[in-house]
Amino acid sequence: MKTILDLLDSELYDFLNKKIKQKYRFNQIINWIYKKKIKSFSECTNLPKNIIKELSTKYKLRTLRIIQKKKSITNETIKYIFQTIDNNNIFAVLLKKAGKNKLCISSQIGCPIKCDFCSSGKVKFVRNLTKGEILEQILQVENDIKGNIAGVLFMGMGEPMLNFNNIVSVITALLDKNKFKIGKKHITISTIGIVPAIKNLAKINFGIRMALSIHAPYDFQRDKLGCNNFIKFSIADIMNAGKYYIDKTNSSLTIEYVLLKGINDSTKMAHKFARLIRQHKLVRYNVNVNLIPYNYTYNTSYRRSTDISIHKFKTVLYLNGIISISRKIKGEDINAACGQLGCY
């Protein structure tokens, strides 16, 4: 049985038009699902019983089960562990920023890329999440907190750009004023750099923010870190795709760089990284560099860079006209920080 969240608008419309012969019910039903966030069709008080019955026999509203909820000591971050219908676990992380709720969501079960420093890659890759399963992470958290999510980060488990068609349908629903009504600047997609997908998303021009996981100044080093497993794109190609993206959409770009002690955090590498950014004409007001402190994951020997090396790295970028911020670490105590979602 499909969930109703998996349907495209045209499919729901056709179902109401042909099967129920009441196409004007479309907006009512969308409102119940996305605004009132019903968990059962029996909650639709303005629908006749026969329609409720038709909908309930044909479609589910929820398939994910929250199996664990972990709160950080600050209470600002909550990690949700969901079980899918085929008994796999996926994760979403609720973050509070300036009083607003942001949700970091998963796009796949496991991750086929397998960056060596990331725990999502240690989880066996099973499959893409469906459009419904991705949207349901948001609806379930909204049900749980009895509030709205104001920002979405595709930075959970998986590589979103390898689940392109579903991600496009999800973004369409997020921006839809009759559904989630989230502003384009409050949606960020982080990718390891699937070049054709970045270009295709630029052409669709949703205007959402793009983040590129670069993590190394040299291709051989990035390959060694496992960021180019399974795909084969050079840093230059990925940066060019990022430039194409902002030129086409006029939105903003983040370049992500996980700082790993003694591996990619020397000032020599900072100079090389700065040169790359300059060469690709990415020193601009709408591009920023995000230096991510490494978060502990199981079975790796990586360590977080010292504050001094982070500061030196930042200074080199600054002297090259590049503004960087170090990402605030959130939820490390509950294994909910970047790269920790596969840890329990």
Query: Could you tell me if 82 and 91 are in contact, meaning their C-beta atoms sit under 8 angstroms apart?
Result: yes
Q: Does 192 bind ligand SAH (CB under 6 A)?
A: yes
Return the H-helix or E-strand segment holding 131. Answer: helix 131-145
Four-point Cα dihedral 215, 156, 238, 324, nearest 10: -50
Q: Could you say which of 115, 175, 197, 343 contacts ligand SAH (CB under 6 A)?
A: 115
The number of residues that bind ligand SAH (CB under 6 A) is 17
Nearest Cα residue to 110 out of 129, 101, 123, 96: 123
Residue 321: exposure state from Cβ atoms within 10 A (0-12, 13-18, ≥19): exposed
Contact 249, 199 (CB under 8 A): no
Residue nearest to ligand SAH (CB): 339
- Residue 149 makes contact with ligand SAH by CB under 6 A: no
The one among 140, 190, 251, 254 contacting ligand SAH by CB under 6 A: 190
Residue 338 CB, shortest distance to ligand SAH, in Å, is: 3
Three-state DSSP state, 108: strand
DSSP E strands in the chain: the ranges are 65-71, 77-83, 89-97, 100-104, 108-109, 127-128, 151-154, 187-191, 209-213, 253-259, 287-293, 324-326
Site for ligand SAH in 320-339 (CB under 6 A): 338-339
Residue number with CB closer to ligand SAH (7 or 197): 197
Site string for ligand SAH, 254-293 (x = CB under 6 A): --x-x---------------------------------x-
216: contact with ligand SAH by CB under 6 A: no
Whole-number Å distance between alpha carbons of 143 and 258: 33
Q: Which of 117, 125, 180, 233 binds ligand SAH (CB under 6 A)?
A: 117
Three-state secondary-structure class, residue 65: strand
Nearest to 293 by CA among 334, 250, 251, 339: 339
Q: Which residues are catalytic?
A: 338
| Min CB(117)–ligand SAH separation in Å | 5
Backbone angles phi, psi at 287, to 5 degrees: -125, 130
**In the structure encoding, which two tokens stand for residue 277, read together?**
């950014």
Q: Are 326 and 281 in contact (CB under 8 A)?
A: no
Rank residues 55 and 189 by Cβ distance to ligand SAH and give the closer one. Answer: 189
Report residue 343 CA to chain centroid gap: 17
Q: Is 170 in the site for ligand SAH (CB under 6 A)?
A: no
Per-residue x/- marks for ligand SAH, 14-53, CB under 6 A? ----------------------------------------
Segment near ligand SAH (CB under 6 A); pick from 2-10, 141-149, 218-226, 294-302 = 294-302
- From the CB of 4, what's the least distance to ligand SAH, in Å? 28
- Identity of the residue, 132 or 342, whose beta carbon is nearer to ligand SAH in the bound complex: 342
Question: Cβ closer to ligand SAH: 83 or 229?
Answer: 229
Stretch that binds ligand SAH, among 140-148, 175-183, 185-193, 268-276 (CB under 6 A): 185-193
Please select the residue that binds ligand SAH; options are 213, 228, 240, 324, rule is CB under 6 A.
213
Rg (CA), the chain: 21
In this structure, what are the phi and psi dihedrals at residue 188, rounded to the nearest 5 degrees? -125, 135
Query: Which residue ranges make up the site for ligand SAH (CB under 6 A)?
Result: 115, 117-118, 155, 159, 190-192, 213, 256, 258, 292, 294-295, 297, 338-339
